[in-house]
Amino acid sequence: MNNRMTALFENKHENILNIYFTAGYPNINDTVTIISELEKAGVDLIEVGIPYSDPLADGPTIQESGTVALKNGFTLKLLFEQIREARKTTTVPLILMGYVNQLMQYGIEKFVKECADSGVDGLIIPDLPPAVFERDYKELFAIHNLSFTFLVTPNTSDERIKMLDNLTTGFLYVVSSASITGAKSGISDEQVAYFERIKPLISSPKLIGFGISDNETFTTACSYAEGAIIGSAFIKMLSKDGVGGIASYIKSVRG
């Protein structure tokens, strides 16, 4: 499999910055502008969250942004139109992050085909069990050149980490703590010990997420992985400063 995302990890091995935002937030038509501004600001990878009424892994900030997006009239049909529009001018790798029910309701084959046709490079579906992925979807995603990312947490056993490392066709999303997104700031000694423990178990690229918000936490995370993911802190910035604040925020994270 070779798409924009796998090409990124082949060509860059450190300080990879992945920014997560919720589609349709703050305003329904901000998606294309946000993608464009993030690429201009030098972000390596963009994770577009699909608003959902019951987002299990997301903290209050991301949940609230999803609620606003749904009230704004967000639909998956609109998202695919927006990604097509963004693809006219952007080459940055794009990942969609959502939940199994959303795919089921849309129709999984239709969803996957729309991803490929609109220019999506990968998927993160936290509640899709690895065994189901391998049995039912791995081949389908591969046919449509979509990489798939699994999450590991401090509670994931070494054996399971190795299994997920073998299964992932994108990167491994290293969840920095056992809490929901956006719940903490800073990186503790306990988290550092966890990053050290899992490093030798993983051969896939790793990006650390949850609790990354500024230059200090980004730099620390990047010393234990190929890069890091910022979500809640970016959404808080958007709610305060709007799309006009993107360039200065990314500059502050890069340092």
pLDDT tens digit sequence for 61-110: 888 888 888 899 999 999 999 999 999 999 999 999 999 999 999 999 99
Helix (H, G, I), strand (E, B) or coil at 147: strand
Residue 66: the pLDDT is 86
Classify residue 224 as left (phi > 0), alpha (psi -120 to 50) or beta: alpha
By three-state DSSP, how is residue 253 classified? helix
Tokens of 255: 């340092």
Would you say 134 and 163 are in contact if contact means Cβ atoms under 8 Å apart? no
Band (5; pLDDT cuts 50, 70, 90)? very high
CATH node for 4-249: 3.20.20.70
8 Å CB contact between 90 and 113: no
Could you give the residue numbers annotated as active site? 47, 58
Q: Is the pLDDT of residue 8 over 80?
A: yes
- Rounded Cα distance between 125 and 121, Å, is 14
Residue 91: partners with Cβ closer than 8 Å, 6 or more residues away:
4, 39
Going from N- to C-terminal start, the domains of the chain cover: 4-249
